[in-house]
Structure 1
Amino acid sequence: MSNRRRMYIILVVDVVIIWAAIAISYMFRFNGSIPPYYEQQMYGFALITTAICGLSLAFFRMYRRMWQYASIGEIIELIKAVIIGMTASFLVTSIAFGKEVPLSIATRTVELMLLFMGGSRFLWRLIRVNRTAKMELTHHILVVGAGDCGALIAKEIMSSKMFAGSRLIGFIDDDPHKQSMRVVGYPVLGNRYDIIEIVHKYQVHDIVIAMPSSKRSDITDIINICTMTKAKVKIIPAINDFITGRLAVKTLRNVDVEDLLGREPVQIDLQGVMDYVTDKVVLVTGAGGSIGSELSRQIAAFKPRKLLLLGHGENSIYTIEMELRAKFPDVKLETVIADIQDRPRMESVFRSFKPQVIFHAAAHKHVPLMERNPSEAVKNNVFGTKNVADCADKYGAERFVMISSDKAVNPTSVMGATKRIAEMYIQSLNTSSRTQFVAVRFGNVLGSRGSVIPRFKEQIAAGGPVTVTHPDMVRYFMTIPEAVQLVIQAGAFAKGGEIFILDMGKPVRILDLAKDLIRLSGLEPDVDIKIEFTGMREGEKLFEELLTEAEATTATQHERIYVGQPLEISQSELELQMRRFEKVLGEDRNTVKAAIEAIVPFYSNVS
């Protein structure tokens, strides 16, 4: 039925109710025998009330409401409209007829109008709900969280065309006072530990987690329970959307693997970061990459005097440039297409722009590829870093923050070993430079290019199989924004020569990660999507470490950043080894790997 037709039907019903209420009130007042004068007044009162109350009801938008989703707010507005309309009608009629309408008649008319109008609208809602219940409902939905957010989401689900043919089963809430209660007409069926049983009992297809202000650890626990079912899981993204009124069905998103980490948001010292970034010329190398682009986004928010986006790939640099120009129109940007292996080009960049703070994120990071191409890993990760660091020293940069990796600890891969050499080089350079050189070491980041998560998602979308190298493979993970926030914060703590280690939380088994991703897609591991083990690749370790035995950590001002004890590294000896190193570039793999082993005391060439 169209909205216009529905409005006319309700309007006609209201007119009938007004006349019936007035007639019944007069009949009661005069015991069924209305005197001629009052009969004339009754007709006049009915006409005036129809006009004035009709306008009052229209003013309060009583004919533009979806009554099948009515709540207390609609009833209150109806009461206001009737009382205001009847008061005005009572006064106008009394003036027009020279004798006021009996107060008992006016009072009873208000009561009857509210009873009949409220009842007719409730009946309308009842008919619509019953009609919906009789429809073939293909999807059953369960909402976790019976608070304000859950109630709003429930109403959105009932009214949204996106959920046509779906039925809300009820709520889950851990509050014992809400058990067996009803929220917007739907029952609270149990707590988080009842989810699996309820999903099975009611054949739930979708679970919506509506707990935007809850602790991450609680949400993670609930998600883990939900992944043990076959239901698809969606989540309200943030408390901000609830507060600012942007909450709607379209804000729901699929639960992602990031939600399973369960760590609270990073809190950073804004003043400390502003002191070394704001109004400075900041250079980000590898600015088109996963980490580099996020660094650029977050640094732009601190209003540097100029932000230099340096990268080798023109497409990725163009993409981040366009994004930043749209989001931060007041920040002055310079895009630099350059290869960090090109020393003259690096000299030119530093001479032209004189960057004061450098975030060095450019690197080759793919472990198996670097095993097969060790010379390229050395050129980029070692000598590329050397070029940028030497220029930072030569042109008087204040601070140099290098992005390192947990694979640099007791490395078994070429990638890890080259990152360790880069760490050693900047530590040695720090002893004689005015520039403060530091490295920040962390594990894998979720969703970065070439990482396991996008690969798993591609395999699941293709119907499987999902390939895992080893059933006991374990890695540390954090989100890209989380890692970058901590990198920027670590830069504020720099005094020179430190290796900062980020708290990566608990290590995650890759096999469990694969299973979680399959379940979050609404599928069953090894039933809908097969998991295959392919064997460990070149250079890989089962477990990653964040410290060598010789390094000891101390706490910093930030609870999730630690600083490793700097090792004594002879700058002259390292320079000599680097010159020898240059001579083997381009040789066969084993020769290059042997040269790496001569520099990195912890490197184990297992190939």
Structure 2
Amino acid sequence: MTRAALSFRRSGAQFLLDYAAWALALFAALALRYEFDVTEIAWLSLLGVIVIAGVLQFVAGWVAHLYRRRFTYGTFEEVRALTVSFLGLAVVLGGAVAVFGNAVGLPRSTVFLAAPIALLLALGVRYLKRLYVERRQRPDTGATRTLIYGAGYLGAQLVRRLETDPYSPYQAVGLVDDAPQKRNAQIKGVRVQGQLDDLKSIVTATRAEVIVVAFAKADMDLLQRVQDAAMKADIQVKVMPPFAEILGGRARPSDIRDIQIEDLIGRRPVDMRADLVTEYISGKRVLVTGAGGSIGSELCRQIAAFEPGELIMLDRDETGLQTAQLAISGHGLLHTRDVVLADIRDPAALEQIFADRRPQVVFHAAALKHLPMLEQYPDEAWKTNVLGTLNVLRAAELAQVETFVNVSTDKAANPTSVLGHSKRVAEKLTAWMGERTARPYLSVRFGNVLGSRGSLIPIFQNLIQQEKPLTVTHPDATRFFMTIPEACQLVVQAGGIGESGEVLILDMGEPVRILDIAERMIDMSGKPLDIVFTGLREGEKLHEELVGDRETTHRPHHPKISHARVDSIPPERLDYQGWMGRMFTHPRDNTTAAIARGTLETR
């Protein structure tokens, strides 16, 4: 049977059920009117009214789209359309019977008595069918018994999804919510069992194996509470996608996943202020250096959402460019002009690319970033982070770039390492070019991002997989953490509010102790692993800083972005030998920045 034939068959069956409801209702109305003495009924007249009711119901139902498959079966939209069609028929047919009924032996009240009976019958049939369909669609008995934390909109959506998906690996057996007013709430037969503090007893009563956090903005404090309670109750924790992804169609409420360490230490929901971004990116030619890296590729993805006139992804890593192109364009063919293979150490190549492509906005994310590696090879930091940044700035000036955003690091605040000093100089060079061009050339400074290549979390995950001890530099060492999407959202917004010569500092929240992360990851893995303290490395701080000693900040535009001024330095004052000599002859302990003063003052 074809799809059209099947649809017609279902619509016809639906109409016949409504027609039968009118027939039964009209007979019941007359039976009630004559106190069940059926010998008083004018059968021919009743039959005529039933036929007319059928014709009118088909017309009314067709006009209301009841029999054209517009509505999902048993929804409020269908109930509203059904009620309107039945009431319309009752008014038309009831009016006619009221005028001519006595002439054909029918009481004038017949149709008006029958209308509510017919409507109840039609609604009842739909309700029973919906119960039957939903019961058939429920997960089988082998599905994992699941609790849902949060009885709000997302929790209700998740319950409905799980209860109407026969292939779902999860079956909702209870809700958990801390709001007293939801103590007796019930969604599709799934009842609120209690509060999070009662989780252990709830798990015992429901035999649940999993709890899913269903909150639109589940911050790390909430997730830590749930994880701690779940560990005591010996139950797994899972989370839903962010609400923005569900609204944007990139995820469904049923796309639940395991909780990750990133959720527990860095999930800070960021409200994207599109007005700060649209004006300076939409329709513009935007170039991103380091586009194949963790930060650069995410910047490209977020910039693409604002429909730039052209997005140019530049990197020296062809594999990274392919991955970025795959995420943005849906292919990794590397044959289009949106990908550019070049090294920021090559000034001539950069100038040619900028002259040819004429970018209007530049995000400079290309950099060397591994602190201990650059301590061994400071020359590389100078070539890439200092001279490479200068090359990009000069190419941007020649191409008359309107907005330039230099991606910096918290290591540049009171620097004690080669990485920090090199990025501090990059900030000063950006400020110099801002003064020179009188355009918004600015830097954005933030701390560690979770999930980037070679960062803390992937290293710990790798060690856990190998069942090796986790290495921590110091039991009291702390760092600022933020997820890559959150950091990039703020970087993109910062470009719309920064001024020439400024460094914009992202709100990273409270610093997190690395030992706490290691302990949580070991607990989540369920493996009895040790933690080994290795000692702070050369140039490494015990506690990172976001704001330098001589910097003052304010927040005039965005609640999570601070503004500060950084001194500028012209290229002619760059002195590599002096920089190297002062950096390595001054004492650089691991808690206090030793500042190299003179030709290069890097604080």
Residue 175 of structure 2 aligns with an amino acid whose one-letter code is F
In the alignment, the residues of structure 1 paired with residue 53 and residue 437 of structure 2 have an alpha-carbon distance, to the nearest angstrom, of: 90
Q: Is the 8 A contact 1:171 1:189 kept in 2?
A: yes
Instruction: Tell me: CA distance 1:324–1:21, structure 2 relative to 1, closer, same or farther (3 Å).
Output: closer
Q: Which residue in the other structure is 2:524 paired with? A: 525
Give the superposition deviation at 1:362.
1.2
Q: Which residue in the other structure is 1:480 paired with? A: 484
Specify the SS of the correspondent of 2:42.
Answer: helix
Q: Is the 8 A contact 1:424 1:569 kept in 2?
A: yes
Give the superposition deviation at 1:339.
1.5
TM-score scaled to structure 1, two decimals? 0.73
User: What are the ranges of 5 or more consecutive residues in structure 2 without an aligned counterpart?
Assistant: 1-5, 597-603
Give the superposition deviation at 1:312.
0.7
Instruction: Tell me: CA distance 1:297–1:193, structure 2 relative to 1, closer, same or farther (3 Å).
Output: same
Give the superposition deviation at 1:364.
1.3
Specify the SS of the correspondent of 1:553.
Answer: coil
Q: Is the 8 A contact 1:174 1:190 kept in 2?
A: yes
Indicate the larger mover: 182-191 or 500-509.
182-191
In the alignment, the residues of structure 2 paired with residue 149 and residue 338 of structure 1 have an alpha-carbon distance, to the nearest angstrom, of: 46
Q: Which residue in the other structure is 1:578 paired with? A: 576
Q: Is the 8 A contact 2:19 2:57 kept in 1?
A: no
Q: Which residue in the other structure is 1:407 paired with? A: 411
Q: Is the 8 A contact 1:266 1:486 kept in 2?
A: no
Equivalent residue for 1:177, pick from 169, 177, 181: 181
Equivalent residue for 1:510, pick from 505, 509, 514: 514
Give the superposition deviation at 1:438.
4.2
Equivalent residue for 1:156, pick from 155, 161, 170: 161
Give the superposition deviation at 1:506.
0.9
Equivalent residue for 1:203, pick from 198, 204, 207: 207
Q: Which residue in the other structure is 1:106 paired with? A: 111
Q: Is the 8 A contact 1:237 1:251 kept in 2?
A: no
Q: Is the 8 A contact 2:138 2:162 kept in 1?
A: no
Residue 153 of structure 1 aligns with an amino acid whose one-letter code is L
In the alignment, the residues of structure 1 paired with residue 440 and residue 21 of structure 2 have an alpha-carbon distance, to the nearest angstrom, of: 83
Q: Which residue in the other structure is 1:370 paired with? A: 374
Q: Which residue in the other structure is 1:588 paired with? A: none
TM-score scaled to structure 2, two decimals? 0.74
Equivalent positions of 1:213-362 (< 5 A) are 216=217, 219-228=219-228, 229=230, 230-235=235-240, 237-238=242-243, 241=246, 248-250=252-254, 259-260=263-264, 261=266, 263-266=268-271, 270=275, 274=279, 283-299=287-303, 308-321=312-325, 335-350=339-354, 352=356, 358-362=362-366
Residue 225 of structure 1 aligns with an amino acid whose one-letter code is R
Q: Which residue in the other structure is 2:387 paired with? A: 383
Indicate the larger mover: 248-257 or 339-348.
248-257
Residue 234 of structure 1 aligns with an amino acid whose one-letter code is V
Give the superposition deviation at 1:410.
4.8
Q: Which residue in the other structure is 1:555 paired with? A: 554
Residue 223 of structure 1 aligns with an amino acid whose one-letter code is L
Q: Is the 8 A contact 1:311 1:339 kept in 2?
A: yes
Q: Which residue in the other structure is 1:586 paired with? A: none
In the alignment, the residues of structure 2 paired with residue 505 and residue 62 of structure 1 have an alpha-carbon distance, to the nearest angstrom, of: 54
In the alignment, the residues of structure 2 paired with residue 19 and residue 492 of structure 1 have an alpha-carbon distance, to the nearest angstrom, of: 68
Equivalent positions of 1:3-152 (< 5 A) are 21-35=25-39, 38-46=42-50, 49=53, 60-61=66-67, 70=74, 75-84=79-88, 99=104, 101-119=106-124, 122=127, 136=141, 138-152=143-157
Residue 363 of structure 2 aligns with an amino acid whose one-letter code is F
Q: Is the 8 A contact 1:90 1:100 kept in 2?
A: no
In the alignment, the residues of structure 2 paired with residue 492 and residue 249 of structure 1 have an alpha-carbon distance, to the nearest angstrom, of: 33
Deviations 1:252-306 (A, max 9, x none): 566555554454525658469846x677765432222222233444555667676
RMSD: 5.0
Give the superposition deviation at 1:374.
4.2
Q: Is the 8 A contact 1:427 1:498 kept in 2?
A: yes
In the alignment, the residues of structure 1 paired with residue 436 and residue 504 of structure 2 have an alpha-carbon distance, to the nearest angstrom, of: 20
User: What are the ranges of 5 or more consecutive residues in structure 1 without an aligned counterpart?
Assistant: 519-523, 582-591
Indicate the larger mover: 475-484 or 44-53.
44-53
Q: Is the 8 A contact 2:276 2:496 kept in 1?
A: no
In the alignment, the residues of structure 1 paired with residue 503 and residue 304 of structure 2 have an alpha-carbon distance, to the nearest angstrom, of: 25
Residue 533 of structure 1 aligns with an amino acid whose one-letter code is I
Residue 290 of structure 1 aligns with an amino acid whose one-letter code is S
Indicate the larger mover: 539-548 or 7-16.
7-16
In the alignment, the residues of structure 1 paired with residue 282 and residue 364 of structure 2 have an alpha-carbon distance, to the nearest angstrom, of: 18
Deviations 1:521-567 (A, max 9, x none): xxx5363x444424447444442222444x23221423433345545
Equivalent residue for 2:472, pick from 460, 469, 473: 469
In the alignment, the residues of structure 2 paired with residue 274 and residue 440 of structure 1 have an alpha-carbon distance, to the nearest angstrom, of: 19
Residue 60 of structure 1 aligns with an amino acid whose one-letter code is L
Deviations 1:191-239 (A, max 9, x none): 4544554345423344444443xxx4x6544322322312332325226
Residue 578 of structure 1 aligns with an amino acid whose one-letter code is Y
1:597 equivalent in alignment to 2:596: no
Instruction: Tell me: CA distance 1:364–1:155, structure 2 relative to 1, closer, same or farther (3 Å).
Output: same
Residue 222 of structure 1 aligns with an amino acid whose one-letter code is L
Instruction: Tell me: CA distance 1:111–1:352, structure 2 relative to 1, closer, same or farther (3 Å).
Output: closer
Deviations 1:473-493 (A, max 9, x none): 422112334333443454556
Specify the SS of the correspondent of 1:562.
Answer: strand
Residue 176 of structure 1 aligns with an amino acid whose one-letter code is P
Residue 472 of structure 2 aligns with an amino acid whose one-letter code is T
Q: Is the 8 A contact 2:246 2:253 kept in 1?
A: no
